Structure 1
Amino acid sequence: MSALLEGSRQFLSTAEDTGAPRQAFTPFSASLAASVREMHRCLLLTLLAETSCQTLTQVLKCLAHLVANVPYNRLRPGLLSPLWKQIRPYVRHRDVTVRVSSLTLFGALVSAQAPLPEVHLLLQQPVSQSNLGTPGICTPQEASQSWRSPGPGIKTPPNAPQTWRRTACRGEETPEGVSEGPCWLLQLCMSLVTQPREETHSDSDAGGSSSALLEPSPVRLEALQVLAHLVKGYFSLAQTSLLELGQVSASCLTEQDPSIQLHGTKLLEELGTGIIQQYRPDANSTQSSNRVPVSQVVHFWSEILAGPLISALQNEQHATLQTSACDTLSSILPQAFSQLPGKNQVLCITILLGLTYSENALVKAASVRALGVYILFPCLREDVMFVADTANAILTTLDDRSPNVRAKAAWSLANLTDTLIVNMQSVGREFQEDFSDLLLLNMLRSAAKASTDKDRVKSNAVRALGNLLHFLQPGQLGKPVFEQPVEEAVRALVETVRGDATMKVRWNACYALGNAFRNQHLPLGSAVWSEEAYSALSDVVHSCKNFKVRIKSAAALSVPSTRARYGNTQQFSEIWQTLAQALEHSEETDDFLEYRYCASLRSQLCRALLHMLSLCQPEDLPALRSTLSERRVNTLQSLLIRHLNGRDLGFATGEEGADPVAPEDDRLLLKDTLKRLQSMMGNTAADANEDLKMVLCFLEELERNCEETEGKDSNES
């Protein structure tokens, strides 16, 4: 059964019984849900009746596989409570393998679709209540006094956190029935990791731990994993014990067992990540209102950085530990990092910069990734020296033999170039002038080279290229040394757009070209590479099977802010005709899944066409007139009306790949375009006047139909 359940998540995901039962027939989802409930019942009965340690272990492992794969958020609550109460006694079982298996099951429970309301309530149970099983469900060990209770003359170790000295062996309750201090599972796991056993080991414990006083290593490791899962899924319950959990991690880092040290750093990383999630802009109101105060976060990290974490970062004999410690450093809250003592900030940066030259690929990848996180910190990103040092370290690792290192380096380089754009807008010319031209040149060349690498590297390399091309200033573009690297950078983006890379990479390349087009100093329209860039985007917007890529290419084509940046008349005409043709066929696709992006694609194409109309000149009118033939004019007009009246707004807003849609702005743009074109009447040649009349007729009819349609909609509502 364990083998059948392992990896069954996709199959079991169809189970559902949250709705009212159907009388006419029983759907497959309900039958599967009934089978899942029956499996829970049978395994619980087996667990209750079994006495063999070997069989108990297998039953607990089977339950862990079941819990890890069942979609509890699609099932009626109540499945987990009996299981939770029944496995509680086995954490105190005399056999090590049974204790480990029960902790594995607890880990599965707190990580299954977390946070589950049912598990959240179970974690909030008072300690004394959770020590009791349900009536008739207990083991012989449960009936007797727990062997974890300290006897006379036995003292709690001095390095145990203060919380356990107060509450390790007593379950106090408030009048409302909520336990004081950390939740009971948190308490239990912390005590399993750091507190001594007060009873002799079973035979299976022999050689299980380096210290006869502590639990065997397998038990302690599993308890640490449960703590990490609990912190990740239910941080709001764990945050009250933030400092104590930090002490647990610190005590693990002082031990000799590398596995214990490693899991200690992983717990620290989860704590840091939980804090960061509370401060994210998109955090829900509950997370925001229950944030850990920044002052407490600063105290937490000050204690950690003053402890054994630094030694772990410098432990060259244990590369995996170094890697995990780097990940831990990257989980420091930016607002807290800025308030850390200066020596701690310098220490973190210095160590990470040094580790990018490690001989171990894992350490190198983790350190360069951490620098990619730090470069986004507001307190660091405006420091030109730090940005330059980080850039040099990233460029060195971007040439590494390991694909994983290069992928992390490319991600960090993209983050660094994001910082350049932010600084360009917030700090201004001062930062740009202080930034080394030579370093910028090296970044351009390295990013262009990385764009030919594997897709994992290429995806972020093209993002970096777009930012770098956006960042370049007239003083740099005017230097001959920049001419070839700029051309190579644009051609690298063009080749990626046209190439056979994954759709994510091609989407990034289209975005990067649009980003580059925003640089008003870039010779777009006059440079030799302009035609290639526009041609690549035009091909994609018309023929790419992926609608999100087409949306982003259409967005890039609507970026140029002046008519001259679209190139000559022929180039302008080709772009216009391609966009019009793409709009006509915007609902044609062989992949049903792409239909959900149809509205976003239509809106973006309409915006691009209206934008080009607002910039067109008399010499462009013949090409526009040829597009507005009788056969096509009705289709184009109906789709433009749909966009201008906001009918696609509800479908397009918020979809990935689409820019924010504002039909009101486009209607104002249409009015301004009409006024501008009307002012041209009589000022152009006779032939041009005919073309202008045709275009004006189309736009006037478009505006009139928009107003009529809007009036009908308002009357109907």
Structure 2
Amino acid sequence: MASSSSGVRSWRTAFLTLRDETLTSPPPHTLFALLRDLVLSLPSDSLVAAASDLPPHEVTSDVMLLAELASAVSECQGAADTLVRVCHLIHDVSCRILREIDSASCTVMLSFLQKTVECSLGISSTQSIILESTARMKAVTEILDVLRFTVKACGRNNSLSQSTQLIRLLLSVIACLHFELNNLFHSNGTNTPAANSGIGDSKWNGLWDMQTIAFSMIGDALSRTGSSMEANLWQSVVEVLRKLMDFLASKNLIVENNAMSRFYTTLFNCLHLVLSEPKGSLSEHVAGFVATLQMFFMYGLPSRSSLPPATTGSKDKSFSSPDMKSGQLDCRQSEHGRYRPPHLRKREGTKINLVDAQSSSVSEPSKYGFASSDSDHSDSDGLVKDGDRYRTSKVRLAAIICIQDLCHADPKWLTSLWTLLLPENDVLQQRKYQATLMTCLIFDPVIKIRIESATTIAAMLDKHSSILLQVAEYRDSSKCGSFTTLSSSLGQKLMQLHTGLLCLMQRETHSGLLASLFKALMLLISATPYSRMPGELLPTVIASLRARIMENLALKNENIGLLLSDLSCLGTALSKSPPSLHVLKLLEEGASGHTQRESSVPLLLLQLSERGRHPAIRFEAFQALRAISHNYPNIVNRFWEQISATVYELLQIQILDDSSSEVVGSCTGEIGKTLGSTMERCIMAGIKVLDECLRAASGFKGAVDLLECRLQDIQQISDSSRRKRISSAPSYELDGLGASSNYTADCQSGCEQWNGMIEKHLPKCLPHASPMVRAASVTCFAGMTSAVFFSLTEDKQEFVISSAVTAAVKDAAPSVRSAACRSIGVIACFSQIVSRSRVLNEIIRAAEFNTHDPLASVRITASWALANICDSLRHKATELRLENSAGEITDSKCISLLVESALQLTKDGDKIKSNAVRALGNLARFIRFTHHSITNDRPSSVSYSALSGDSQWLERMVQAFVSCVTTGNVKVQWNVCHALSNLFMNDTLKLHDASWAPAVYSILLLLLRDSTNFKIRIHAAVALAVPATRLDYGSSFPDVVQGLEHILESLGSDHSSMPSSFRYKDNLEKQLTSTTLHVLGFVSSADDQALKDFLTKKAPFLEEWFKKLCLALKEADDQPSASETASSENHGDGSTLYVPNKAALSRAMKSLLDVYKHSNHQTVAQRFEKLANGLT
């Protein structure tokens, strides 16, 4: 008792004296002496013992004073030992006293510990040599203990600055530990200390234990800071993690024991927290992280699993086997023993423990059993399994989650590392030293790890990777040679992914794993370019999914969630474009006769869409049927009656009716709403299937494109080689099929189906309570063709038009109005519609009404319909050359409405602006502008009774075109070029008198020269070729000639365009050649001297250019079939043979010859005369 009181008295005397002496803020060297003489001179044990008898708040206050003063003397000579001794005293006191400190005290303690690490333990500091290795490790241990006590005493209410300070301190501690680790490693030569039994084991394990503690505390701090962490601190943590993980990989430190397993888990969890909230680029670290993480995919597992190989053969040619074609993969499932409760299971190790003394000498290697049920691994016990004595499964799981984090951060980072993560061969064979994510997915005994593996594979296949995989191409490994291209490597990986996922899909029963498998498989199907893979691959996928669905249906209690995922994957596979001949053959199995009806995919989907099924299942079945209808229209068209009856039955269900207990039953609240919403989606999907069937039967190929004969003559574009794919039109042709085998629409069949649709379904669909159902119903009209429409009776035609117009004007739902506008836009393309004045006025006003809608989605379709209406009017006024009798075209108010609406829409967004420009261009083609009279000599193709326009419309149109070409996107710009072509062809204009003409010509030349988009340049060249006379170019003629020549001369060296535009380069060269020949045909000796001098200067280039054209024309004359096959035969470089127009070529050369003769350039004139004579 006396010694206790003496110790308390000594404590209080020392600290009271210390407080008194420091009131005057003495200099650091004085403080250093005070600490040494007043506190550190006393026996440490007596001070620690006295602390137990003092009030906790007094001890806490004194300890904080000690830490604050010690921090102040850190710069003094010899301060390293003092700081370590103070830290030792604080550590021993903290072990005895449970302190509660405030935020300010926490900051003081963190600052003190940071100074201690920097001054006494810093690697770069010369003072670090004062402490020998053992003392340094003891100091680090005490610092970590003090940190733990401090953080615990402060609770979880640390501020952001304190958490940041704590992380920086811990990073310094880890750097010190890493330094010690390196020293220890090198002192043992090439062997790790763990490899030498009994030598350095305690120190080796101690180092890893301390790092485990440090990273655990960093992880806690990172969890608190979250997204608020500073970018530079985040970068520091990343660099420390990368350095340590590189060390693990370079030294192959994959050790299986308790200490190392805890360390790996803590390290990877810390990495997960950093990767999940990236604050900067990880591109330079990804390769290092992935290489190290991949080494832990099989951590803790035996070299040979008790699971036998999943299949006896893993060659890719197995895809052509009968079992593969039927969807039954040869992947035998392992036989599991009878379930044993955990307390009866034999406790076995996974590997001889090299470090643990108790197990290093006598330990039998054991084998994992294959776990595929939750009974083996409880969600609450953290993946504990009796065979997993070191909890190594946690390490594997953490490593895979880190890979997943990298995928979510940016998938592009991993694309170059797929070789490490995904297999190229033998996916069904287990591998110990070259493990991939598929190895974990197929062979890991822990179900959670397998689920995370599937999720990570799905993350790798999402977003950016789907673009990269479009270059994938499968080649047999025997044909690849010693060098494997990127496309071939990706093709091999896709093949192995298909093999593994399809095998697991057939074998597994765990619902959670199956859900992850289906998600990964769906993304794999979406990303795979099946046209570049083996033809049997996609049918194999479809057959496997069909087999799985049938197995599910055979169960007494079918799993609705898995069935939905299966159907969704099946729908994705059936919707892959381009359609496959092999898939068509698979779908035709059992579809035409009564044999094998159960195995037919269409019949199976029809069965799942029938009454009695869950609405969600019926919805997915309809989605898959719609995919078949779109890609393989001749298949589903055979089942029109069944589909029609099923959808009609759906329409009988009144969701809000109390009698519809079959669907909604007694459900109330959110459950009832969900069922009702699902049923609405189901009805909508059914109507969309009918829509696809109607489009196929009608031969719908998109809205009628009213091409203009005069523009077709000007354009030199090989349309046969650039077929435009209309996404809303069914796929009537399949690669590999002859023309006679492709689907041919029957107008009579389409008419019959449309009659049934109008009589039975649409009267119930159009007034439906659900907007999505009404929108799908109105959209059906957008798939109608002109032939089918005019084959209907007049009352049904009136029904179609009135339904679309009424929905566009009166429906309250924006989606319905948007769908109605699209239908109006399609109907407006029917040539005879513009002859019906009343109908035309109705659809004009309906479209114009929706151009004022607040939603852009409605204005987009309304402006599209408006442009189509103007296109039809232009077609009627110019091409058909019909008289405006009995108000056939329309009245002036409607034309004025179209002009004003289009002008207003040019100020809207780009998608709307593009349609508005197209509308104005069509109107500008046929409107007679009143202040211009037809006095020129050009023949007019416009009826004199055509509508006259406002004198200000022309100027406003031109202003709109100029504004749009400078502010609009690519599509707007090439629509402006096309609109200017239409404007130039207006026979009522005198282009040479127009004040705006020079500016317009300059804009077209700039687009032709500077645009990075070849389509824009092509349309600009077409517009420049429209003026029919030299007079139309006016004062801009010399600029046009010189501009075209410069562009033609520099075309071969132009590399500024976007890669996506390169496929149009051949067409651009053709169009530019045609336009240049057209313009050169107008040059004469009467032109300005500057232009003639320019042509003389460029004579060598023009001569060579004309020689090439003459040669091409001569070859075409020698081989008459060449011109016929030019548009379809491609040369090796992708270009097509271009044969110039002989008349245009001759006219251009004669014009130049005239210029050179009158300019006294006889030598040049003789060469051109020789070329001209060669054409005759």
TM band (smaller chain): 0.7 to 0.9
Aligned-pair distance for 1:250?
A: 2.5
Greater CA deviation, 485-494 or 374-383? Answer: 374-383
Residue from 1008, 1012, 1017 that aligns with 1:545:
1012
Distance in 1 (CA, whole Å) between partners of 2:757 and 2:1172 is 63
Residue from 89, 112, 123 that aligns with 2:550:
89
Residue from 668, 672, 681 that aligns with 1:259:
681
Structure 2 residue matching 1:26: 3-state secondary structure? coil
Post-superposition CA distance 1:416-468 (Å, at most 9, x none): 12111221222522368742223222222221221222110111111111111
Aligned-pair distance for 1:254?
A: 2.6
2:604 matched residue in structure 1: 188
Select the structure with the greater relative contact order (CA < 8 A; seq sep ≥ 6).
Answer: 1
Residue from 619, 635, 639 that aligns with 1:221:
619
Q: Does 1:268 align with 2:743?
A: no
1:351 matched residue in structure 2: 803
Conservation of the 8 A alpha-carbon contact between 2:644 and 2:690: yes
Structure 2 residue matching 1:639: 3-state secondary structure? helix
Q: Does 1:31 align with 2:31?
A: no
Which letter does structure 1 place at the counterpart of 2:792?
L
Residue from 768, 773, 786 that aligns with 1:334:
786
Which letter does structure 2 place at the counterpart of 1:229?
A
1:13 matched residue in structure 2: 470
Residue from 1031, 1035, 1043 that aligns with 1:564:
1031
Q: Does 1:627 align with 2:1094?
A: yes
Conservation of the 8 A alpha-carbon contact between 1:452 and 1:458: yes
Residue from 636, 653, 661 that aligns with 1:238:
636
Q: Does 1:669 align with 2:1144?
A: yes
Which letter does structure 2 place at the counterpart of 1:494?
V
Q: Does 1:115 align with 2:579?
A: yes
Structure 1 residue matching 2:1070: 3-state secondary structure? helix
Structure 2 residue matching 1:528: 3-state secondary structure? coil
Greater CA deviation, 362-371 or 468-477? Answer: 468-477
Distance in 2 (CA, whole Å) between partners of 1:643 and 1:493 is 35
Post-superposition CA distance 1:621-651 (Å, at most 9, x none): 5243121233x22123323433454489999
Structure 2 residue matching 1:73: 3-state secondary structure? helix
Residue from 851, 854, 858 that aligns with 1:401:
854
Conservation of the 8 A alpha-carbon contact between 2:929 and 2:951: no
Aligned-pair distance for 1:51?
A: 2.7
Aligned-pair distance for 1:192?
A: 2.0
Structure 2 residue matching 1:496: 3-state secondary structure? helix
Structure 2 residue matching 1:186: 3-state secondary structure? helix
Conservation of the 8 A alpha-carbon contact between 1:254 and 1:261: no
Residue from 64, 68, 79 that aligns with 2:522:
64
Aligned-pair distance for 1:481?
A: 6.3
Distance in 1 (CA, whole Å) between partners of 2:757 and 2:818 is 23
Distance in 2 (CA, whole Å) between partners of 1:661 and 1:37 is 39
CA separation of 1:249 and 1:463: change in aligned 2, threshold 3 A: same
Post-superposition CA distance 1:651-680 (Å, at most 9, x none): 99589xxxx997452x323434666898xx
2:566 matched residue in structure 1: 102
Conservation of the 8 A alpha-carbon contact between 1:322 and 1:363: yes
Conservation of the 8 A alpha-carbon contact between 2:1156 and 2:1165: no
The 5 Å alignment of 1:473-512 reads 473=928, 482-497=950-965, 499-512=966-979
Distance in 2 (CA, whole Å) between partners of 1:695 and 1:399 is 63
The 5 Å alignment of 1:620-659 reads 620-630=1087-1097, 632-646=1098-1112
2:309 matched residue in structure 1: none
1:148 matched residue in structure 2: none
Distance in 2 (CA, whole Å) between partners of 1:67 and 1:90 is 21
CA separation of 1:263 and 1:101: change in aligned 2, threshold 3 A: same
Conservation of the 8 A alpha-carbon contact between 1:576 and 1:609: yes
Distance in 2 (CA, whole Å) between partners of 1:80 and 1:614 is 56
CA separation of 1:623 and 1:603: change in aligned 2, threshold 3 A: farther
Which runs of 5 or more structure 1 residues have no equivalent in the other structure? 128-166, 174-178, 196-213, 682-688, 712-717
CA separation of 1:421 and 1:698: change in aligned 2, threshold 3 A: farther
Aligned-pair distance for 1:300?
A: 0.7
Q: Structure 1 length normalisation: TM-score?
A: 0.79
Which letter does structure 2 place at the counterpart of 1:633?
A
Greater CA deviation, 639-648 or 524-533? Answer: 639-648
Aligned-pair distance for 1:105?
A: 2.5
Distance in 1 (CA, whole Å) between partners of 2:1047 and 2:1111 is 20
Structure 2 residue matching 1:51: 3-state secondary structure? coil
Residue from 1035, 1044, 1047 that aligns with 1:579:
1044
1:138 matched residue in structure 2: none
Which letter does structure 1 place at the counterpart of 2:788?
A
Conservation of the 8 A alpha-carbon contact between 2:925 and 2:986: yes
Distance in 2 (CA, whole Å) between partners of 1:674 and 1:354 is 60
1:142 matched residue in structure 2: none
The 5 Å alignment of 1:262-411 reads 262-277=684-699, 284=733, 286=739, 290-315=743-768, 317-357=769-809, 358-411=811-864
Conservation of the 8 A alpha-carbon contact between 1:646 and 1:663: yes
Q: Does 1:590 align with 2:1056?
A: yes
Conservation of the 8 A alpha-carbon contact between 2:1011 and 2:1057: no
Q: Does 1:421 align with 2:882?
A: no
Aligned-pair distance for 1:301?
A: 0.9
Conservation of the 8 A alpha-carbon contact between 2:835 and 2:889: no
Aligned-pair distance for 1:319?
A: 1.8
CA separation of 1:13 and 1:486: change in aligned 2, threshold 3 A: same
Aligned-pair distance for 1:563?
A: 2.5
Which letter does structure 2 place at the counterpart of 1:15?
A
Which letter does structure 1 place at the counterpart of 2:507?
A
Aligned-pair distance for 1:698?
A: 5.4
Structure 2 residue matching 1:483: 3-state secondary structure? coil
User: In percent, how many aligned pairs have the same letter?
Assistant: 24
Conservation of the 8 A alpha-carbon contact between 1:622 and 1:691: no
Greater CA deviation, 219-228 or 285-294? Answer: 285-294
Greater CA deviation, 254-263 or 450-459? Answer: 254-263
2:211 matched residue in structure 1: none
CA separation of 1:696 and 1:356: change in aligned 2, threshold 3 A: farther
CA separation of 1:564 and 1:377: change in aligned 2, threshold 3 A: same
Q: Structure 2 length normalisation: TM-score?
A: 0.49
Post-superposition CA distance 1:690-712 (Å, at most 9, x none): 8734589757634634777x99x
Post-superposition CA distance 1:252-300 (Å, at most 9, x none): 2332331222112211222233335566898656488642422221111
Structure 1 residue matching 2:884: 3-state secondary structure? helix
Distance in 1 (CA, whole Å) between partners of 2:594 and 2:992 is 75
Distance in 2 (CA, whole Å) between partners of 1:702 and 1:79 is 61
Aligned-pair distance for 1:558?
A: 1.4
CA separation of 1:57 and 1:27: change in aligned 2, threshold 3 A: same
Structure 2 residue matching 1:620: 3-state secondary structure? coil
Which letter does structure 2 place at the counterpart of 1:421?
R
Distance in 2 (CA, whole Å) between partners of 1:275 and 1:476 is 50
CA separation of 1:385 and 1:39: change in aligned 2, threshold 3 A: same
Post-superposition CA distance 1:506-538 (Å, at most 9, x none): 111011101111111123221222222222222
Conservation of the 8 A alpha-carbon contact between 1:356 and 1:397: yes
Aligned-pair distance for 1:591?
A: 3.3
Distance in 2 (CA, whole Å) between partners of 1:471 and 1:579 is 29
| Structure having the higher Rg | 2
2:1167 matched residue in structure 1: 701
Q: Does 1:454 align with 2:912?
A: no
Distance in 1 (CA, whole Å) between partners of 2:1071 and 2:1162 is 22
Structure 2 residue matching 1:21: 3-state secondary structure? helix
Conservation of the 8 A alpha-carbon contact between 2:1018 and 2:1072: yes
CA separation of 1:584 and 1:673: change in aligned 2, threshold 3 A: closer
Which letter does structure 2 place at the counterpart of 1:381?
V
2:74 matched residue in structure 1: none
Distance in 2 (CA, whole Å) between partners of 1:531 and 1:601 is 23
Greater CA deviation, 276-285 or 363-372? Answer: 276-285
